[in-house]
Amino acid sequence: MKFPKNLSSKLEFRQQNNALRTLSLPNELVDFASNDYIGFSKNQSIFQQTHQYLVATNGTQNGATGSRLLSGNHKVYQEAETYIAKFHQAESALIFNSGYDANVGFFSSVPQKGDLILYDELCHASIRDGIQLSNAKSYKFKHNDFEDLEKLIQRCQTELTEVYIVTETVFSMDGDCPNMEELVAFSEKHKCYLVVDEAHALGVFGQSGEGLVQMLGLQEQVFARIMTFGKGLGCHGAAIVGSQELKGYLVNFARSFIYTTGLSPHSVATILVAYQHLVTEKQSIEKLRQNIIHFNQEKNLLGLKPMFVRSKSAIQSAIIPGNQKVKSIASQLQEKGFDVKAILSPTVPEGQERLRFCLHSYNSQEEISEVLSLLSTFVFLVQ
């Protein structure tokens, strides 16, 4: 079948630069690649309790497919959103089909024409895509650089209606965190609305995995939090938590909520049961925490610290410039039985290619020590 030449040339360019993305099947290697930080995606208890819940509620009575504004708003949604709001100490929660849908829905509908969005330059693609659909003006500030943010505020604020500051509590490629206390104080000083994506913090930070904002007691000062379930909770979907007014607004104006089929009762029940397990299975969160500490200690002992981005999260990134070089080292680690992925440009800027290690509660400390020892060997061999 005929294919447009300009599209073929773009694919060829990716291939020539060792940057062509392909799909691969799951493997049996030791997992240092997935975002299943506390093992909930393979948790048999969550699977069984979800089934029991659906049997007890007769499938929540309504399994019809359709927009939640039509036929898709089955009863388990209300129970799940009430539980999530209480868990996150917020007035309300609204479930979206994915973190991407939640970010696109929020940023395309909430900031208005005449408003200003200031976002960290390393914010996720879903945030950027939502901002592109917005009628508000937007500018990026240097990563975690609040002096640069201050300059943007001073330059723009007087001529605008509302200002939204956007960041993430854990950045997906670097694994680092902003100084949230400082950012909250900054937002309050300038009367801005702070919006925080907690995709990679849910299940990782806090006594019950509630995220970094709550761990620091800052939830009352954050306008909206986007909680994505496909990482720490190991299931599909996301929720925006905030005020009751915000929920009502999103139901009326967020197009990615309005014009899509709602999640099935089984999917929403899985979300609810996974949240309940955050409270009852704190040992998984603590095991992950110990593995993060051990990883950082080991990389220091092996002299690898300079190549890693500073991180106290489950994401640890070793910068190895060059697509070919980082792919070669990733392949060597995979041949030794460890699933470590190379992150290539243009996913990250050229020269910032990296190995991205995702840590889990089910990784053993022996596995962590071994994979870092191998990394040390392979890195020094190719230098």
> 281: pLDDT confidence band, cut at 50, 70 and 90?
confident
Enumerate the domain spans of the chain: 27-40+282-382, 44-280
Q: Which helix (H) or strand (E) holds 319?
A: strand 315-319
Confidence at 156, pLDDT banded by 50, 70, 90: confident
Two structure tokens written together for 77: 């949604």
Q: Are the C-beta atoms of 92 and 281 separated by less than 8 Å?
A: no
Q: Is the pLDDT of residue 379 over 70?
A: yes
Question: For the segment 227-278, what is each residue's pLDDT rounded down to a tens digit?
Answer: 999 999 999 999 999 999 999 999 999 999 999 999 999 999 999 999 999 9
pLDDT above 60 for 383: no
State the average pLDDT over residues 103-126.
97
**Cis amide leading into 265 (omega within 30):** no
Query: What pLDDT is stored for residue 65 in this prediction?
Result: 79
In this prediction, residue 159 has a pLDDT band, given cuts at 50, 70 and 90, of low
Does the structure show a pLDDT above 70 at 327? yes
Percent of the chain with pLDDT over 90: 88
Please tell me the predicted confidence (pLDDT) of residue 50: 95
Predicted confidence band of residue 60 (pLDDT cuts 50, 70, 90): low
pLDDT band at 160 (very low <50, low <70, confident <90, very high): low
Question: Do 44-280 and 27-40+282-382 fall under one CATH topology?
Answer: no
Contacts of 47 (CB under 8 A, 6+ apart): none
Instruction: Order across the sheet with 193-197: list the strands.
Output: 92-96, 238-242, 224-228, 193-197, 163-168, 116-120, 137-141
**Stretch among 9-23, 167-181, 253-267 having the lowest mean pLDDT:** 9-23
pLDDT greater at residue 307 or residue 21? 307
pLDDT band at 17 (very low <50, low <70, confident <90, very high): confident
**Helix (H, G, I), strand (E, B), or coil: what is residue 80?**
helix
- Enter the DSSP assignment of 220: G
pTM over 0.75: yes
Token pair belonging to 113 = 């024409």
Q: What is the pLDDT of residue 37?
A: 98
Using an 8 Å Cβ cutoff, are 341 and 35 in contact? no
Q: Residue 64: its pLDDT value, please?
A: 65
Residue 289: pLDDT band (50, 70, 90) is very high
Mean pLDDT for the stretch of residues 8-25? 88
Is residue 382 predicted with pLDDT exceeding 60?
Answer: no
CB atoms within 10 A of CB 375: 24
- The token duo for 247 is 């929920």
Place of tokens 């801005």: 192
Topology of domain 44-280, per CATH? Aspartate Aminotransferase; domain 2 (3.40.640)
DSSP string for residues in 147-175: HHHHHHHHHHGGG-S-EEEEEESS-TTT-
CATH number of 27-40+282-382: 3.90.1150.10
pLDDT, tens only, 122-137: 999 999 999 999 999 9
Residue pLDDT, tens place only, 182-199: 999 999 999 999 999 999
Rounded Cα–Cα distance for residues 41 and 357 (Å): 18
DSSP-assigned beta bridge partners for residue 315? 358
Name the helix (H) or strand (E) containing 163: strand 163-168
Provide the mean pLDDT of the chain: 94
Tens digits of residue pLDDT in 332-362: 999 999 999 999 998 899 999 999 999 999 9
First CA to last CA across the chain, in angstroms? 45
